[in-house]
């Protein structure tokens, strides 16, 4: 960034101190505040806010905290009536459950640091009893060790070479020279290239299909290969990505971050337009109010960027990213409550084998067992017990379902997709540009465009840290 732009973006020490002394309202997770303490609605206050963060998911709340740590006043405008975005700690069948992002690891660098900072604990899922995996003869039970080893063998072949092309897993573009051709491959292209036996391929293509959004043709080889690299290139690392969760819920970390960030938090405040007029940034809400600030961090899902009117318009890479979408559409997560009997069974279908290709056991209840299921099939009604039971039966698991709690993240107006999973070509064509800000006053943060754990909470935190640095003119 040139020095002129930097100077325009940095606040004077005097301004910062003045802001720090003002009565910024501390917002707790459960608080909806009537209005910002330093509201700069046009015509009512000539003092602009320091920064506006749009979106109170992990990326936005992290950016707010980091900007606050630099002495800036921050207002968060959030469309929903709650914080958390694609994370959502709630209750079902008498248990604390996560409707969105669930599993994290202390070894993920950003999550690990936050756990230590706020002295939060992780809870470990109980070990699996068995794994039901697809074979040409139908679903078959494997011991967890055997099942994971078989899947790991396929993953090793699929992602062979990733030690070279992702030699630095947290810097995905470090070996752009090796990635140019590879990044154009879908996971299906890679299966075709490998010519695995049907037995081998079907052990893992259900996972590549669902993570990609329905078909292995949709997802980039390099997306899953980067996760594999981040997991230390081994199946135990991959198994750990669905093992540990926040003991007090993902919201407990967000609440701790917010308590430190002390932003003015405005819930139920959807943003419709963001303008950088060369002197300041203006943010307009659905209710027609306009807030003025020195800078804006847009912490929305990439799929939602095109719901905002940006002036000047978004750069080409940002436009391409939001038009193509990064988070998978039609992503549904289901909590299934079943009477006892099947125990801690993991079920996985082959690609195209079931509208619910993956179930993972979670907590025990007084009546039985909770399972987490995933679907990307728009034809499935996730609240229809018969449809869900039939879909799970295709995994070789017969559940006596007594309750379902499902959320369709694709149909969620403020998410427009579930977990991030890049499409072929997106890493090399979009990342070099979308990682930077759109204008000198408009910066983007999202777990969908993290350099490391993209598609994970850790990536959202990483992206929020980076956005704060960019917004503060430090990069
Ligand atoms: C079903 C599912 C399962 C997942 N599982 C895991 C997992 O196990 N582990 C893991 O680490 N990650 C998981 N993830 C991914 C993880 O949840 C996300 O990567 C992360 O939460 C994204 O955070 P974010 O802040 O970038 O975006 P979001 O959480 O989406 O935050 C964006 C915020 O912007 C708000 N917003 C949108 N439009 C507007 C507007 N116009 N005006 C104002 N506000 C607006 C939204 O309401 C939202 O609060 C999962 C995601 C899903 C959907």
Separation of CA 415 and ligand 1 centre (Å): 7
Ligand 1 close to Cβ of residue 56 (< 6 A): yes
- % the chain with pLDDT above 90: 88
Ligand 1 close to Cβ of residue 118 (< 6 A): no
Shared-domain flag, residues 262 and 210: no
Separation of CA 295 and ligand 1 centre (Å): 22
> Alpha-carbon distance 95 to 1, whole Å?
49
Shared-domain flag, residues 225 and 272: no
Q: Is 211 inside a domain boundary?
A: yes
* Residue 20 pLDDT grade (very low, low, confident, very high; cuts 50, 70, 90): very low
Ligand 1 close to Cβ of residue 358 (< 6 A): no
Residue-wise pLDDT for 233-287, tens only, equals 999 999 999 999 999 999 999 999 999 999 999 999 999 999 999 999 999 999 9
Residue-wise pLDDT for 281-294, tens only, equals 999 999 999 999 99
Shared-domain flag, residues 320 and 430: yes
Shared-domain flag, residues 263 and 211: no
Judged against a pLDDT cut of 80, whether residue 149 lies above it is answered with yes
Q: Is 351 inside a domain boundary?
A: no
Q: Which of 252, 300, 248 is nearest to 274 (CA)?
A: 300
Please name the residue whose Cα sits nearest to atom 14 of ligand 1.
101
| Of the candidate ranges 14-18, 136-140, 462-466, the one whose mean pLDDT is the lowest | 14-18
Shared-domain flag, residues 165 and 281: no
Give the pLDDT score at 46. Answer: 54
Percent helix / strand / coil, the chain, rounded to 5: 35, 20, 45
Shared-domain flag, residues 204 and 255: no
Judged against a pLDDT cut of 90, whether residue 341 lies above it is answered with no
Separation of CA 85 and ligand 1 centre (Å): 4
Atom of ligand 1 at shortest range from CA of 77: 43
Judged against a pLDDT cut of 80, whether residue 368 lies above it is answered with yes
Q: Which of 74, 80, 446 is nearest to 283 (CA)?
A: 74
Shared-domain flag, residues 300 and 445: yes
Site to substitute for ligand 1 among 447, 450, 453, most atoms within 8 A of C-beta: 447
| Of the candidate ranges 116-125, 434-443, 452-461, the one whose mean pLDDT is the lowest | 434-443
Please name the residue whose Cα sits nearest to atom 13 of ligand 1.
101
The domain boundary residue, chosen from 201, 231, 261? 231
Atom of ligand 1 at shortest range from CA of 308: 41
Judged against a pLDDT cut of 80, whether residue 9 lies above it is answered with no
Ligand 1 close to Cβ of residue 447 (< 6 A): yes
Separation of CA 419 and ligand 1 centre (Å): 8
The domain that holds 62 is classified in CATH as 3.50.50.60
> Alpha-carbon distance 328 to 248, whole Å?
28
Atom of ligand 1 at shortest range from CA of 58: 25
Q: Is 66 inside a domain boundary?
A: yes
Ligand 1 close to Cβ of residue 103 (< 6 A): yes
> Alpha-carbon distance 466 to 298, whole Å?
12
Shared-domain flag, residues 154 and 226: yes
Q: Is 254 inside a domain boundary?
A: yes
The domain that holds 208 is classified in CATH as 3.90.660.10
Strand ranges (DSSP E) for 46-103? 49-54, 74-77, 89-92, 95-98
Separation of CA 393 and ligand 1 centre (Å): 30
- Report how many domains make up the chain: 2
* Residue 438 pLDDT grade (very low, low, confident, very high; cuts 50, 70, 90): confident
Please name the residue whose Cα sits nearest to atom 22 of ligand 1.
447
More confident residue, 40 or 429: 429
Shared-domain flag, residues 321 and 426: yes
Q: Is 355 inside a domain boundary?
A: no
Shared-domain flag, residues 13 and 52: yes
Where in the sequence is the domain holding 47, given as residue range(s)?
3-84+250-325+422-471
Q: Which of 98, 391, 86, 332 is nearest to 213 (CA)?
A: 332
Task: Phi first, then psi: give them for residue 277, nearest 5 degrees.
Answer: -95, 10
Residue-wise pLDDT for 396-431, tens only, equals 999 999 999 999 999 999 999 999 999 999 999 999
Ligand 1 close to Cβ of residue 298 (< 6 A): no
Tell me the average pLDDT of the chain: 91
Report, as an integer, the average pLDDT of 313-327: 97
The CB density around residue 60, as the number of other CB atoms within 10 Å, is 31
Judged against a pLDDT cut of 80, whether residue 113 lies above it is answered with yes
Work out the angle between the directed axes of helices 205-212 and 221-230 (0-180°, nearest 10). Answer: 110
Report, as an integer, the average pLDDT of 310-319: 96
Ligand 1 close to Cβ of residue 267 (< 6 A): no
Ligand 1 close to Cβ of residue 97 (< 6 A): no
The domain boundary residue, chosen from 178, 200, 231? 231
Shared-domain flag, residues 221 and 255: no
* Residue 48 pLDDT grade (very low, low, confident, very high; cuts 50, 70, 90): confident
The DSSP code sequence of 111-151 is HHHHHHHTT--EEEPPPPSEEEEEETTEEEEE-HHHHHHHH
> Which three-class secondary structure state does DSSP give residue 48?
coil
Ligand 1 close to Cβ of residue 79 (< 6 A): yes
Please name the residue whose Cα sits nearest to atom 53 of ligand 1.
418
Shared-domain flag, residues 263 and 301: yes
Atom of ligand 1 at shortest range from CA of 102: 8
Ligand 1 close to Cβ of residue 382 (< 6 A): no
Q: Is 207 inside a domain boundary?
A: yes
């Amino acid at each position: 960034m040139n020095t002129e732009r930097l100077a325009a973006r940095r606040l004077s020490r005097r301004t910062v101190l003045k802001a720090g002394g003002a009565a910024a309202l501390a917002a707790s997770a459960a608080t909806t505040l009537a209005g910002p303490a330093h509201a700069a609605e046009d015509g009512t206050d000539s003092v602009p806010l320091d920064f506006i963060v749009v979106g109170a998911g992990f990326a936005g709340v992290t950016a707010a905290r980091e900007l606050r740590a630099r002495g800036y006043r921050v207002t968060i405008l959030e469309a929903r009536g709650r914080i958390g975005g694609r994370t959502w700690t709630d209750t079902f069948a008498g248990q604390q459950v996560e409707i969105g992002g669930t599993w994290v690891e202390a070894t993920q660098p950003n999550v690990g640091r936050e756990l230590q900072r706020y002295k939060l604990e992780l809870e470990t899922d109980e070990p699996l009893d068995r794994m039901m995996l697809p074979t040409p003869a139908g679903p078959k039970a494997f011991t967890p060790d055997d099942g994971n080893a078989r899947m790991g063998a396929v993953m090793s072949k699929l992602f062979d070479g990733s030690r070279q092309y992702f030699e630095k897993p947290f810097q995905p573009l470090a070996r752009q020279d090796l990635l140019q051709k590879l990044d154009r491959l879908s996971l299906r292209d890679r299966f075709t290239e490998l010519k695995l036996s049907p037995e081998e391929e079907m052990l893992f293509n259900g996972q590549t299909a669902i993570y990609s959004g329905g078909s292995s043709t949709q997802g980039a080889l390099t997306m899953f290969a980067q996760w594999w690299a981040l997991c230390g290139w081994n199946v135990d690392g991959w198994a750990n990505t669905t093992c540990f969760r926040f003991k007090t819920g993902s919201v407990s970390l967000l609440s701790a971050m917010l308590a430190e960030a002390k932003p003015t938090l405005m819930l139920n405040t959807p943003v419709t337009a963001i303008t950088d007029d060369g002197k300041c940034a203006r943010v307009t809400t659905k209710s027609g109010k306009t807030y003025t600030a020195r800078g804006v961090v847009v912490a929305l899902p990439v799929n939602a960027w095109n719901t905002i009117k940006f002036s000047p318009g978004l750069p080409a890479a940002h436009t391409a990213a939001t038009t193509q979408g990064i988070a998978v559409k039609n992503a549904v997560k289901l909590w299934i409550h079943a009477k006892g009997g099947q125990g801690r069974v993991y079920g996985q279908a082959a690609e195209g084998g079931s509208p619910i290709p993956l179930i993972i056991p979670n907590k025990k209840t007084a009546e039985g067992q909770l399972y987490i299921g995933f679907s990307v099939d728009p034809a499935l009604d996730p609240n229809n017990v018969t449809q869900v039971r039939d879909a799970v039966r295709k995994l070789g698991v017969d559940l006596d379902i007594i309750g379902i709690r499902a959320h369709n993240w694709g149909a969620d107006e403020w998410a427009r997709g579930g977990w991030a999973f890049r499409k072929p070509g997106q890493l090399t064509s979009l990342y070099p540009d979308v990682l930077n800000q759109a204008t000198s006053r408009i910066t983007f943060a999202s777990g969908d465009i993290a350099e490391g754990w993209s598609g994970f909470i850790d990536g959202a935190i990483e992206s929020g840290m980076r956005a704060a640095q960019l917004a503060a003119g430090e990069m």
